[in-house]
Amino acid sequence: MRHVISVLVENEAGVLSRVVGLFSARGFNIETLTVAPVGDGETSRITLVTRGEDSIIEQILKQLNKLVPVIQVADLTEGAHVERELMLVKVATDRDTRAEVLRIADIFRSRVVDATPTSFMIEVTGDSSKLDACLALLTPLGVTEMVRTGLVALSRGDKGMVTKSSH
């Protein structure tokens, strides 16, 4: 089962390596990982996607909680939540394909963020499957390079993790 896990941590040196080190040392896998400071900058929020049986996920959640600088851990896949990912794709174009690339961009409500006579860079946002679908259409037209942010997610509803500092 795929799980999206949100981890609120103290924004201090070495936290990310503690989290990543935990996964590698215990043989858990990470599919995607994003991290950035949130709130007043004293905390960071990590979103990671992992796979495993329920017992493995339970261990992952407990082990993350055990790390000293980890403030809170939540498995977002336990409830309703919103997932988003961002992708930048560079497509090489010629006279025949430029219109087609723009049409595809339009279908996926994505934006052209850079253009040259021989290329477009397109920014696509959505859940991961939308990005996959967009990429599948662009690939035959000549994708030069691409990058994805990995997933970020929040639970639906009015409740959330505490991002306010309690110092």
Partner 1 sequence: MKMTGAQIVIQTLVDLGVDTLFGYPGGTVLYIYDELYKNKHRIHHYLTRHEQGAVHAADGYARVTGRVGVAIVTSGPGATNAVTGLATAHMDSIPLLCISGQVPAALIGNDAFQEADTVGITRSCTKHNFLVRDVNDLARVLREAHFIARSGRPGPVLVDIPKDITVAQTEYVYSSAEPKIRSYKPTLSGHVGQIRRGAKMLQQSKRPVLYVGGGTVLSDASEELFKLQEGLNFPLTNTLMGLGSFPAADSRFIGMLGMHGTYEANMAVSNCDLLVAIGSRFDDRVTGKLSVFAPHATIMHIDVDPTSISKNVKVDLPIVGDVKHVLAQFNDLVHAPGFKSGLQDMGPWWEQINEWRKRECLRFNQGSDVIEPQYVIQCLHQVTKGEAIVATDVGQHQMWAAQFYGFQKPRRWLTSGGLGTMGYGLPAGMGAQVAKPDAQVVVITGEGSIQMNIQEFATCLQYNWPVKVIILNNGYLGMVRQWQEFFYERRYAESDMHVTPDFVRLAEAYGALGLMCDQVDQVIPTLERGLSHPGTVIMDFRVNREANVYPMVPAGAGLNEMILI
The yes or no reply on residue 41 touching partner 1 (CB under 8 A) is: no
CB 63 to partner 1: min, Å: 5
Strands 43-51, 81-92: parallel, antiparallel or unpaired by DSSP? unpaired
Q: Does 163 bind partner 1 (CB under 8 A)?
A: no
Q: Which two tokens stand for residue 18?
A: 């503690």
Name the packing angle between helices 128-142 and 98-107 (round to 10°): 170
Cβ proximity of 150 and 34 under 8 Å:
yes
Asked if 66 interacts with partner 1 (CB under 8 A), we say yes
- The residue type of 9 is V
> In a 10 Å sphere around its CB, with 0-12 CB exposed, 13-18 middle and 19+ buried, how is residue 107 labelled?
exposed
Mark the segment that binds partner 1 (CB under 8 A) among 10-18, 89-97, 103-111, 152-160: 10-18
Q: Which of 5, 35, 48, 71 binds partner 1 (CB under 8 A)?
A: 71
* Contact range with partner 1 by CB under 8 A, out of 52-60, 95-103, 113-121, 153-161: 52-60
Tokens 């990982």 belong to residue: 33
Binding site for partner 1 (CB under 8 A): 9-10, 13-14, 17-18, 21, 25, 55, 58-59, 62-63, 65-66, 68-71, 166-167
